[in-house]
Structure 1
Amino acid sequence: MSKQRTVRLKCGKPTQVIYVLGTELSIDVYKPSPLGSQTFEVRSSPGVKCFISDQHNVTMVAEHATRWALNKGTLLLVTMEKTSNYVSDSKVTVTFYGEKLESPIDKIIVQLTAVSISLDVDADRDGKVEKNNPNKASWSWGPNGHGAVLLVNCDKDDVAASEPDKSDNAVPIFEDLADMSQMVLRTEGPNSLLPGYKLQLYISTSDNEKAQVFQHSLTSMIHVLGRKKLSFVMDYTKGNNEYNFFVEGLKFPDEGFNSLVTFNLSLLKPMTVGEAPIFTDRVIFRLAPWIMTPNTLAPEEVFVCCVPGNKKFLKEFTAVVEKAKCKLTVCPEAVNFKDRWMQDEIEFGYTEAPHKYFPVVLDSSRDGGLEDFPYQNLLGPDFGHVTRTSDEVNSLDSFGNLEVSPPVTVNGKKYPMGRIIIGSAFPTTSGGRSMAKVIRNFLYAQKVQSPNEDYSDWLYVGHVDEFMSFVPAPDRKGFRLLLVSPDVCCKLFMKLQQEGHGEAQMFEVLLCVSQPGLKKQTVKINEILSNQKLRDDNTYVQQCIDWNRDVLKRELGLDEEDIIDMPGLFELNKSHQAAGAFFPNMVNMIVLGKHLGIPKPFGPLINGKCPLESAVCSALEPLGLDCNFIDDFAAYHLLSGEVHCGSNVRRKSFALKWWNMEM
Structure 2
Amino acid sequence: WTWGPDGHGAILLVNCDRDDPAAETPDNRDAAIRSYNDLKDMSQMVLRARGPRTIFTGHRLLLHVDFSDSDKVRVFYGGNSVALEEYQHVLGGSKLSYTIKPSRHQEESVFYVEGLAFPDVNFSGLVALHVTLLESSEKGQLETPIFTDTVVFRVAPWIMTPNTLAPLEVFVCSVDGNKDFVAAVSAVAEKAKCPLTVCPPVENRQDPWIQDEVEFGYIQAPHKTFPVVFDSPRDRGLKNFPIRSILGPDFGYVARQAPEGASSLDSFGNLEVSPPVTVRGKEYPLGRILIGTSFPRFGGRPMAKAVKDFLFAQKVQAPVELFSDWLCVGHVDEFLTFVPAPDRKGFRLLLASPSACFQLLKEKQEEGYGEAVMFQGLEKERKWTINEILTNEWLQKFNHYAQ
Q: Establish whether TM, by shorter chain, passes 0.5.
A: yes
1:290 alignment partner AA:
W
Query: Larger strand proportion, structure 1 or 2?
Result: 1
Which of 419, 425, 439 pairs up with 2:288?
Answer: 419
Find the aligned partners of 1:398 and 1:234 in 2 and give their Cα distance.
48
Give the alignment of 1:619-658 within 5 angstroms.
Answer: none
Which of 7, 27, 51 pairs up with 1:189?
Answer: 51
Which of 256, 262, 277 pairs up with 2:122?
Answer: 256
Structure 2 residue 156 is the aligned partner of structure 1 residue 288: yes
The match for 1:534 is: 395
Find the aligned partners of 2:307 and 2:8 in 1 and give their Cα distance.
30
The match for 2:186 is: 318
The root-mean-square deviation of aligned C-alpha atoms, in Å, is 1.7
Task: Give, in angstroms, the shift of residue 522 of structure 1.
Answer: 5.2
- The list of structure 1 runs, each at least 4 consecutive aligned residues, that deviate by more than 4 angstroms after superposition, is 191-194
Structure 2 residue 199 is the aligned partner of structure 1 residue 199: no
Checking the alignment, whether the CA contact within 8 Å between 2:275 and 2:287 is kept in structure 1 is: yes
Q: Deviations over 1:33-68 (max 9, x none)?
A: xxxxxxxxxxxxxxxxxxxxxxxxxxxxxxxxxxxx
Task: Give, in angstroms, the shift of residue 533 of structure 1.
Answer: 2.4
Q: Deviations over 1:322-348 (max 9, x none)?
A: 222211000001111111110111111
Structure 2 residue 83 is the aligned partner of structure 1 residue 215: no
Find the aligned partners of 1:475 and 1:265 in 2 and give their Cα distance.
53
Checking the alignment, whether the CA contact within 8 Å between 2:364 and 2:370 is kept in structure 1 is: no
Checking the alignment, whether the CA contact within 8 Å between 1:155 and 1:382 is kept in structure 2 is: yes
Checking the alignment, whether the CA contact within 8 Å between 1:291 and 1:351 is kept in structure 2 is: yes
Find the aligned partners of 1:441 and 1:520 in 2 and give their Cα distance.
40
Which of 109, 112, 127 pairs up with 1:246?
Answer: 112
Find the aligned partners of 2:174 and 2:218 in 1 and give their Cα distance.
26
2:2 alignment partner AA:
S
The match for 1:507 is: 374
The match for 2:363 is: 495
1:233 alignment partner AA:
T
Checking the alignment, whether the CA contact within 8 Å between 1:149 and 1:285 is kept in structure 2 is: yes
Find the aligned partners of 1:503 and 1:435 in 2 and give their Cα distance.
40
Checking the alignment, whether the CA contact within 8 Å between 2:49 and 2:102 is kept in structure 1 is: no
Q: With structure 2 as the length reference, what TM-score do the two structures score?
A: 0.94
Checking the alignment, whether the CA contact within 8 Å between 1:193 and 1:238 is kept in structure 2 is: no
Q: Deviations over 1:600-632 (max 9, x none)?
A: xxxxxxxxxxxxxxxxxxxxxxxxxxxxxxxxx
Find the aligned partners of 1:362 and 1:443 in 2 and give their Cα distance.
11
Find the aligned partners of 1:535 and 1:152 in 2 and give their Cα distance.
50
Q: Deviations over 1:185-210 (max 9, x none)?
A: 11223455462221111111111111
State the SS of the aligned residue for 1:380.
coil
Task: Give, in angstroms, the shift of residue 268 of structure 1.
Answer: 1.5
The match for 2:98 is: 232
The match for 2:2 is: 140
1:501 alignment partner AA:
G
Task: Give, in angstroms, the shift of residue 240 of structure 1.
Answer: 4.9
Task: Give, in angstroms, the shift of residue 488 of structure 1.
Answer: 0.8
Q: Deviations over 1:47-103 (max 9, x none)?
A: xxxxxxxxxxxxxxxxxxxxxxxxxxxxxxxxxxxxxxxxxxxxxxxxxxxxxxxxx
Q: Deviations over 1:621-644 (max 9, x none)?
A: xxxxxxxxxxxxxxxxxxxxxxxx
Checking the alignment, whether the CA contact within 8 Å between 2:14 and 2:118 is kept in structure 1 is: yes
The match for 1:428 is: 297
The match for 2:341 is: 473
Checking the alignment, whether the CA contact within 8 Å between 1:190 and 1:239 is kept in structure 2 is: no
Q: Deviations over 1:546-592 (max 9, x none)?
A: xxxxxxxxxxxxxxxxxxxxxxxxxxxxxxxxxxxxxxxxxxxxxxx
State the SS of the aligned residue for 2:157.
coil
Find the aligned partners of 1:390 and 1:522 in 2 and give their Cα distance.
37
Structure 2 residue 36 is the aligned partner of structure 1 residue 174: yes
Task: Give, in angstroms, the shift of residue 520 of structure 1.
Answer: 3.5
Find the aligned partners of 2:132 and 2:360 in 1 and give their Cα distance.
75
Task: Give, in angstroms, the shift of residue 504 of structure 1.
Answer: 5.3
Checking the alignment, whether the CA contact within 8 Å between 2:229 and 2:242 is kept in structure 1 is: yes
Find the aligned partners of 1:262 and 1:351 in 2 and give their Cα distance.
20
User: Which structure has the higher relative contact order (CA within 8 Å, separation 6+)?
Assistant: 2
State the SS of the aligned residue for 1:299.
coil
State the SS of the aligned residue for 1:505.
coil
Find the aligned partners of 1:377 and 1:502 in 2 and give their Cα distance.
47
Instruction: State which drifts further: 526-535 or 469-478.
Output: 526-535
Structure 2 residue 22 is the aligned partner of structure 1 residue 160: yes
Give the number of equivalent residue pairs: 396
Structure 2 residue 318 is the aligned partner of structure 1 residue 450: yes
Query: Larger helix proportion, structure 1 or 2?
Result: 2
Structure 2 residue 44 is the aligned partner of structure 1 residue 151: no
Q: Which structure would you say has the larger Rg?
A: 1
Any unmatched runs of 5+ in structure 2?
none
Compared with structure 1, are the counterparts of its residues 236 and 461 closer, same or farther at alpha carbon in structure 2 (3 Å cutoff)?
Answer: same
Task: Give, in angstroms, the shift of residue 428 of structure 1.
Answer: 2.1
Checking the alignment, whether the CA contact within 8 Å between 2:135 and 2:146 is kept in structure 1 is: yes
Find the aligned partners of 1:153 and 1:237 in 2 and give their Cα distance.
30
Task: Give, in angstroms, the shift of residue 501 of structure 1.
Answer: 2.7
State the SS of the aligned residue for 1:487.
helix
Q: Deviations over 1:422-456 (max 9, x none)?
A: 111123212x1011001000000000000011111
Which of 115, 118, 133 pairs up with 1:267?
Answer: 133
State the SS of the aligned residue for 1:428.
helix
Q: With structure 1 as the length reference, what TM-score do the two structures score?
A: 0.58
2:107 alignment partner AA:
N
Find the aligned partners of 1:335 and 1:442 in 2 and give their Cα distance.
27
State the SS of the aligned residue for 1:358.
strand
Any unmatched runs of 5+ in structure 1?
1-138, 543-663
Find the aligned partners of 1:236 and 1:470 in 2 and give their Cα distance.
56
State the SS of the aligned residue for 2:363.
helix
Task: Give, in angstroms, the shift of residue 531 of structure 1.
Answer: 2.7
Identity %: 56
Checking the alignment, whether the CA contact within 8 Å between 1:338 and 1:369 is kept in structure 2 is: yes
Compared with structure 1, are the counterparts of its residues 196 and 297 closer, same or farther at alpha carbon in structure 2 (3 Å cutoff)?
Answer: same
